[in-house]
Structure 1
Amino acid sequence: MNATSPTSAPASEHADPLLTAEAYLLDVDGTLIDSNYLHVIAWQRALRDANTAAPAASIHAAIGLDSAKLLDRIAPEADDEQRDRISSRHSAHYSDLSEELALLPGARELLRLLHERGTRVVLATSAPQEEVDRQLEVLDAEQWIDAITTAEDVETAKPEPDVFAVAIERAGVPAERCVAIGDARWDMIAAAKAGVVAVGVETGGTDGGVLTEAGAVSVHQGVQEIVDLLQRSA
């Protein structure tokens, strides 16, 4: 992983944070990798294994949450033993589906471009290490990434700010000079709690209006739009 020092100037009050940020804190699922709906399928199958069910829309709305909070929403009647089984079965089913993971348009280009601009890049995820390892295989871009967070780094995932707090520390850049990019309302809420400007992308399936309401200062169809913006500003 690289250790390039940022060269961007501090963001002014009216500047686009995407153009002035010294560090990008990037969610992965639904932002860089097209994985959210695979998670939905894995949770559906895990619930079925536990003789219960939840609508796909309800599961999708909870994707990106801390797993305990997600289970509160999709399996509210489950006891601790059932919750453990559902979570374990989700991991197994998701592993089976992981060969279908694909990059979202602009993902690698964004990482490369940020590296070339001297911007710090941190993958801000609370996924288990085995999922992160698979994500890194799909991204094939470790040379452009400065740091990564995983489930082992935090006690509570989004919408709590822990993931972004660790990402800020590893970026070595003050929170006010970072920008967080994510696809879920939980990303926007967590970023705000961490004192970081949040930018939304719609590639995870969440409507831009929902992301804006949750705190996004801007919303883009996907990271390819952010690549285009950065290239136009060069």
Structure 2
Amino acid sequence: MFDVDGTLVDSNYLHVHAWRRAFHELGRDVDSWRVHRAIGKGSGKLLRTLLGDDDTERIGDRAKELHSRYYLETAGLLRPFDRAPELVRELAGRGVRVVLATSAGPDELEVLRKVLDVDDVVAGIVSGDDVEATKPDPEPVYAALDKAGTAPEETVFVGDAVWDVQAATKAGVRTVSVLSGGVGAAELSDAGAVAVYDDAAALLAGLGDSVLLG
């Protein structure tokens, strides 16, 4: 199973900028590095991390609306990471059941699917609307396991964030991490990633020796 933002599609920093604009418009200035550190969590958890419970209750819905608007305004800048679609297609061609697991809502997911263009080979997609609890809660991973029809011990999660590793580990799934989301290798390994690659292209190049086929 694959995370999408920051793993297959170069979108994390567009999310950071969109959240920063949303917070600024609402009179809440949050440092960009703090926003980046929270990327990969579901929007509700991200807002509570950055604004606290009270502000999230007061302005959280509006912040989500503004973030989505500003993010979609930059959709023309979205692109797959180098060799990311080829990685998905190669795995599917080898008989691996590939499921995408993302916290994105419907509008964002539609754009990501068009950019990535692998719908014809994936076994399923789990989005933020399919679960009540988002990463680092394991519910998205459990939902992806259901889509794939595989057991945790025979499944690998590929993601870019510590939250991916934490969610997968709680579900009994191993994680392979990539650095393309902007999180360091040491932090990902310390969280429990069994292997760390630079990006999708590096993972594809080393696929024969990776746990994805082992």
TM bin, normalised by shorter chain, reads over 0.9
Bigger proportion of residues as helix: 2
**Structure 2 residue identity aligned to 1:138:** V
Q: Distance in 1 between matches of 2:18 and 2:111?
A: 16
Q: Distance in 2 between matches of 1:173 and 1:87?
A: 33
Alignment of 1:184-223 (within 5 A): 184-223=161-200
Q: Distance in 1 between matches of 2:112 and 2:42?
A: 18
1:73 Cα offset (Å): 2.1
Counterpart selection for 2:133 from 156, 165, 168: 156
Corresponding position: 1:113 with 2:61: no
SS in 2 for 1:78: helix
Corresponding position: 1:46 with 2:45: no
Corresponding position: 1:180 with 2:162: no
Counterpart selection for 1:144 from 100, 116, 121: 121
Q: Distance in 1 between matches of 2:44 and 2:208?
A: 40
Comparing 103-112 with 76-85, greater Cα deviation is found at: 76-85
**Structure 1 residue identity aligned to 2:64:** S
Structure with the greater alpha carbon radius of gyration = 1
Which ranges of 4 or more aligned residues in structure 1 deviate by more than 3 Å? 231-234
1:231 Cα offset (Å): 5.0
**Structure 1 residue identity aligned to 2:156:** V
Q: Unpaired runs of 5+ in structure 1?
A: 1-24
Alignment of 1:48-127 (within 5 A): 48-76=24-52, 78-127=55-104
1:226 Cα offset (Å): 1.4
1:230 Cα offset (Å): 2.0
Q: Distance in 1 between matches of 2:41 and 2:128?
A: 12
Of all paired residues, the percent bearing the same amino acid is 40
- The aligned residue for residue 30 of structure 1 is 6
Shift of the 140–68 alpha-carbon distance from structure 1 to 2, 3 Å rule, reads: same
Q: Unpaired runs of 5+ in structure 2?
A: none
TM-score, length of structure 2 as denominator length: 0.94
Shift of the 139–79 alpha-carbon distance from structure 1 to 2, 3 Å rule, reads: closer
Q: Distance in 2 between matches of 1:79 and 1:101?
A: 28
- The aligned residue for residue 12 of structure 1 is none
Q: Distance in 1 between matches of 2:56 and 2:148?
A: 39
**Structure 2 residue identity aligned to 1:167:** A
- The aligned residue for residue 7 of structure 1 is none
1:79 Cα offset (Å): 4.9
RMSD: 1.4
